[in-house]
């Protein structure tokens, strides 16, 4: 059956204002009420309607200001020394896109953050440095560039850099705006450091095998037992897949980070992926529900998002709002390009809200 997107049809609100109606609306307002037909078309859009706009944050512009924060405040003073990235249309909720938060955190050699936990879930993607570590639920995990790490909701966590390391910078991704919108966030600070409950890197060493999970370990938590996904293993896996797999016409070789115990998303509210665009690849345009924050992990190229071109290279961060057409281009004719991204897909899909549409012309025209 044909569906029409026209607010003049029967079934949509189309009441003209009259002095009598306006007086009536005033009476309702005074009682904390309202007439649905005055807001119905607005609160029931024909199609998903993002309030965020596509944006790109250039690392070359931000890096010196991120470093400067480490001269201005200590992690003890700041709790978390982070420059956060905010969407022009989501300033009221501190979101980078949709209901997702992102920021760039800097930690100098010998520094560490206080341990804390919250109902918001967190993840990190390592941008630069050496000797960085995070402690998640008593597990100390060492970090290298392009590693992806999770801090599931309500797990104690703290981060630091070894005395003989190099200043570490990583991207934080959290569902803070979503959890706040649900009015369900909380926050607790630990008095002191966490006690380590497992050998260093226990989680990645025990659960990070090729589809292997230890038979003797029970895992009933609602998040991945694998806390770190090493670039050292992820990148070769993408290259291997690319040898034999065309991949998606919209995303190239797109690999989802998964919970090895279930095959599902790494956490309940946020998922993440790494995708490889072959040399010269230009993907087709599509749009779907779900909000996405990207970081270029390797190479250079551009994405056309909502008809606008955004050029990116290693460490640049950009976002694709829900239901906005997007396509990606690897500008190199010889090297592959890799895009890390995280998203709210676990929420979207578990609530039955996922939908997708391919662009009628295959590609967008740039405005």
Secondary structure string (H, E, C) spanning 37-72: HHCHHHHCCCCCCCCCCCEEECHHHHHHHHHHHHHH
Which of 151, 238, 156, 168 minimizes the C-alpha distance to 196? Answer: 156
By CB under 6 A, residue 336 contacts ligand GTQ:
no
Residue given tokens 């104690």 in the structure block = 156
C-alpha closest to that of 301 among 345, 342, 252, 241: 252
Which token pair is 3? 């569906």
Output the DSSP codes for 115-134: PEEESS-EEEEEEEEEEEEE
Which tokens sit at 304?
């056309």
> What is the secondary structure of 14-29 as a DSSP string?
-PPP-HHHHHHHHHHH
Chain residue whose CB lies nearest ligand GTQ: 172
Between 113 and 289, name the residue whose CB sits nearer to ligand GTQ.
113
Residue whose C-alpha is closest to residue 345's, from 259, 277, 269: 269
> Minimum distance from CB of 160 to ligand GTQ (Å)?
12
How many residues in the shown chain lie near ligand GTQ by CB under 6 A?
Answer: 9
Check residue 152 for interaction with ligand GTQ (CB under 6 A): no
- Among residue numbers 211 through 240, which ones bind ligand GTQ (CB under 6 A)? none
Q: From the list 57, 59, 90, 105, which residue makes contact with ligand GTQ (rule: CB under 6 A)?
A: 105
Residue 274 as a binder of ligand GTQ (CB under 6 A): the answer is no
Residue among 75, 103, 129, 271 that touches ligand GTQ (CB under 6 A): 103
Does 175 bind ligand GTQ (CB under 6 A)? Our answer is no
Closer by beta carbon to ligand GTQ, 82 or else 337: 82
Contact by Cβ (8 Å): 207, 213: yes
Reduce the DSSP state of residue 242 to 3 states and report it.
helix
Binding status of residue 303 toward ligand GTQ by CB under 6 A? no
Distance CA 48, CA 55 (A): 19
The DSSP call for residue 91 is G
Q: Which two tokens stand for residue 26?
A: 């005033």
**Smallest separation (angstroms) from ligand GTQ to the CB of 181:** 16
Span 110-129, contacts to ligand GTQ by CB under 6 A: 118, 122
Contacts with ligand GTQ, 36-75, as mask; x by CB under 6 A: ----------------------------------------
Find the binder of ligand GTQ among 172, 316, 327, 336 (CB under 6 A): 172
Which residue lies nearer to ligand GTQ by CB, 103 or 177?
A: 103
**Residue 135 interacting with ligand GTQ (CB under 6 A):** no
> Is residue 89 near ligand GTQ by the rule CB under 6 A?
no
Least Cβ distance, residue 140 to ligand GTQ (angstroms): 15
Query: Residues interacting with ligand GTQ, by CB under 6 A?
Result: 80, 82, 103, 105, 118, 122, 157, 172, 174
């Amino acid at each position: 059956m044909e569906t029409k997107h026209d607010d003049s049809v029967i079934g949509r609100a189309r009441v003209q204002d009259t002095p009598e109606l306006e007086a009536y609306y005033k009476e309702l307002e005074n009682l904390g009420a309202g007439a649905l037909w005055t807001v119905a078309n607005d609160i029931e859009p024909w199609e998903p309607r993002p309030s965020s706009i596509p944006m790109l944050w250039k690392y070359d512009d931000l890096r010196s200001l991120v470093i400067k924060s480490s001269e201005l405040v200590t992690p003890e003073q700041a709790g978390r020394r982070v420059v956060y990235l905010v969407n022009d249309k989501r300033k009221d909720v501190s979101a980078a896109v949709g209901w997702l938060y992102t920021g760039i955190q800097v930690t100098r050699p010998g520094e560490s953050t206080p341990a804390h936990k919250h109902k918001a879930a967190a993840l990190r993607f390592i941008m630069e440095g050496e000797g960085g570590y995070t402690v998640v639920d008593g597990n100390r995990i060492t970090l290298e560039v392009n590693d992806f790490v999770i801090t599931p909701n309500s797990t104690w966590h703290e981060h630091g850099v070894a005395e003989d390391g190099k200043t570490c910078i990583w991207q934080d991704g959290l569902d803070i705006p979503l959890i706040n919108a649900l009015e369900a966030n909380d926050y607790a600070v630990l008095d002191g450091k966490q006690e380590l409950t497992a050998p260093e890197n226990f989680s990645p060493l025990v659960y990070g095998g090729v589809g292997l999970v230890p038979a003797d370990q029970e895992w009933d938590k609602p998040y991945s037992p694998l806390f770190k996904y090493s670039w050292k293993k992820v990148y070769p896996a993408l290259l291997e897949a690319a040898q034999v797999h065309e991949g998606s016409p919209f995303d190239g070789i797109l690999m989802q980070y998964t919970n090895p115990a279930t095959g599902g998303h790494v956490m309940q509210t946020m998922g993440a992926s790494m995708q490889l665009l072959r040399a010269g690849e230009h993907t087709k345009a599509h749009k779907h529900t779900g909000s996405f924050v990207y970081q270029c992990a390797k190479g250079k190229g551009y994405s056309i998002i909502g008809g606008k071109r955004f050029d990116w290279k290693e460490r640049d961060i950009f976002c694709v709002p829900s239901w906005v057409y997007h396509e990606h281009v690897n500008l190199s004719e010889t090297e592959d390009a890799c895009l890390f991204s995280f998203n709210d897909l676990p929420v979207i899909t578990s609530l039955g809200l996922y939908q997708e549409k391919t662009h009628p012309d295959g590609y967008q025209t740039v405005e």
